[in-house]
Chains A and B, each alone.
Chain A
């Protein structure tokens, strides 16, 4: 790890001196989030509650009635099933504890989350003996019931992956066939592993900083709290930033496109991924989830936004470990493959 520290200082200086990366890292995300918050916060009010039925004898009945986003309708016997089929309601919580829904969609997801969460707390909650939790849950459920959090968390997911740009620029500074600067650096006795590690570490940390700034902004200015489970959220932000940087490293090292192509490619890719994840409104995402469910299962923006939403809005750690492991493992694989691509030190053409 020769000169690790001077490389790290270089990367930090570059990210603070470069007006471009300051703009795209801090200002642009804040502007975009503001724009979204302003234009979509109105929709939050008009968001309709999710109509459901609860079978008589369901242990969850009491708790469910306390949740604002649920609109509980009364049906007798099979009438509830008919209503579900006729799309009058979106789900039935049955007496045996199971949840009956029509398909896959936003509302169905919400219902499933609520069901599994309630079940976890079990009998105490059903008996109404846990008013604190109930209150907390309802408050969060209320705050995040609208379309706004979907859009915000999808945008956050996009920015959480912006380590991509550090990754690309690391390769373009050290791989001699990619830029004149890299030729110059390669003529010095530099350990490339040390250079890449220093760049990845600073790139990831810088990106965590960017994302935390956004989270604080959302919390203080828009009162959307994605920091209630702060440590898990930070860990998620960290591994996502690492994954983004590794993705940039991979895109940087795997081909000879100029950096002015790789940067817009990253911008476009992140935009598309976050659109898939619901940044353009949930309609598109629902359509995708129905027709190509696998896309969002492996969409890093979606994995991030789903997990941060669950952690902080729904207060559940469901799939949290899977998400962290996914980002870590995929990031490590991408780094490894990139280093394989970068193995070559003497080129046919510079």
Chain B
């Protein structure tokens, strides 16, 4: 499979800060790749290097198999970019904004107008085409920002945290739209600091922290990386050493922890041991008042890899 873009050992320093520290990653054609990291981890910096607008200190950056250059008009024609900050003309209408941006790529007016109406439909702004951009609500502004970036059918689109400060409805709309673009053939780079988004949207996730690629792979691959456990939370009717000693004997149980008013049993491998556990409890006539189980999440992976939780 061909690499749509590739960063090799890229180092980018601002005055004191090292924003990218020998950063490596690549995207294959047709993928949706999530760049997941907390604020300040270097996601936007990586995108700006890919766009050819930011000078970096070491390493190599290629898009479509060529080193990036700010004068590469062919590359610019083929990529799309949805910036983290709202980047359109606040005084112009929704339609005028999309028309202008689409017009930067498509000089044929008829084809451009088709692109505009497609993009409007794509982000669900049909009712607002005549609205002045600055009068839109926050979520709708985000949608316009996206429409301006994708109207020209780019082969490779970079979204830089497009859902920050967006209501749940707009967020789902946006994520569904991106999946649809991908089905139609666009390769997608998506940066976010929301685990759930990366988990829901991306074929492959790159975990980024302090300018480094900490790990990358599919969700399952990432979870496998951190010798994962399933946490079963049980509130026993009569907790005590008899119960715990018995449980410790059950295969797959790695650890037992007591929390405020219940017990946490850690099982491995996740997803395969719960029924055996329940069977044993029944056989030994151990009763409980509540039980739920948590499979490992990306957050556990993140916590393991970086030593910090990725939560707002």
A residues within 8 Å of B by Cβ? 2-3, 6, 10, 13-14, 17-19, 176, 180-181, 183-190, 345-350
A181 engages B87 (CB within 8 Å)? yes
29 of the cross-chain contacts (CB-CB < 8 Å) are A3-B103, A6-B103, A6-B104, A10-B89, A10-B100, A14-B89, A17-B92, A17-B132, A180-B84, A180-B87, A181-B87, A181-B89, A183-B48, A184-B81, A184-B83, A184-B87, A184-B88, A185-B104, A186-B51, A188-B76, A188-B101, A188-B105, A189-B74, A189-B76, A346-B70, A347-B55, A348-B54, A350-B48, A350-B54
Name 8 extra pairs, CB < 8 A, besides A17-B132, A186-B51, A187-B76: A6-B100, A10-B89, A13-B92, A180-B86, A181-B89, A188-B76, A190-B104, A347-B55
Residues 97-131 of B at the A interface (beta carbon under 8 Å): 100-101, 103-105, 107
- A191's nearest neighbour on chain B, judged by CB, is B73
A180 engages B92 (CB within 8 Å)? no
Smallest CB-CB A-B distances: 3 pairs? A345-B70, A184-B87, A188-B104
A180 engages B100 (CB within 8 Å)? no
- B44's nearest neighbour on chain A, judged by CB, is A350
Chain B 22-47 per-residue mask, 1 if CB under 8 angstroms from chain A, else 0: 00000000000000000000000000
The docked-state distance in angstroms from the alpha carbon of A58 to that of B200 is 98
Set of chain B residues within 8 Å of A13, measured between Cβ atoms? 92, 96
B residues within 8 Å of A by Cβ? 14, 48, 51-55, 70-71, 73-74, 76-77, 79, 81, 83-89, 91-92, 96, 100-101, 103-105, 107, 132, 148-149
Cβ-neighbour of A346 out of B54, B74, B132 (below 8 A) = B54
Interface majority SS (helix, strand, loop, mixed), chain B: loop
Set of chain A residues within 8 Å of B107, measured between Cβ atoms? 2-3
The docked-state distance in angstroms from the alpha carbon of A345 to that of B53 is 7
A14 engages B92 (CB within 8 Å)? yes
- B80's nearest neighbour on chain A, judged by CB, is A187
Q: How far is the CB of A13 from chain B (nearest CB, A)?
A: 6
A189 engages B92 (CB within 8 Å)? no
The docked-state distance in angstroms from the alpha carbon of A140 to that of B142 is 60
A3 engages B104 (CB within 8 Å)? yes
Q: How far is the CB of A327 from chain B (nearest CB, A)?
A: 29
Q: How far is the CB of B236 from chain A (nearest CB, A)?
A: 56
Set of chain B residues within 8 Å of A6, measured between Cβ atoms? 100, 103-104
The docked-state distance in angstroms from the alpha carbon of A14 to that of B53 is 26
B52 engages A346 (CB within 8 Å)? yes
A346 engages B53 (CB within 8 Å)? yes
The docked-state distance in angstroms from the alpha carbon of A14 to that of B77 is 25
Set of chain B residues within 8 Å of A2, measured between Cβ atoms? 107
A180 engages B85 (CB within 8 Å)? yes
The docked-state distance in angstroms from the alpha carbon of A6 to that of B101 is 10
Q: How far is the CB of A316 from chain B (nearest CB, A)?
A: 43
- B132's nearest neighbour on chain A, judged by CB, is A17
A189 engages B73 (CB within 8 Å)? yes
Set of chain B residues within 8 Å of A345, measured between Cβ atoms? 53, 70-71
The docked-state distance in angstroms from the alpha carbon of A3 to that of B112 is 13
Q: How far is the CB of A1 from chain B (nearest CB, A)?
A: 12
- A186's nearest neighbour on chain B, judged by CB, is B53
- A177's nearest neighbour on chain B, judged by CB, is B53
* A187-B76, A190-B104 known; A347 vs B53 contact (CB < 8 Å): yes
Most chain A CB neighbours (cut-off 10 Å) among B70, B88, B105, B149: B70
Set of chain A residues within 8 Å of B92, measured between Cβ atoms? 10, 13-14, 17
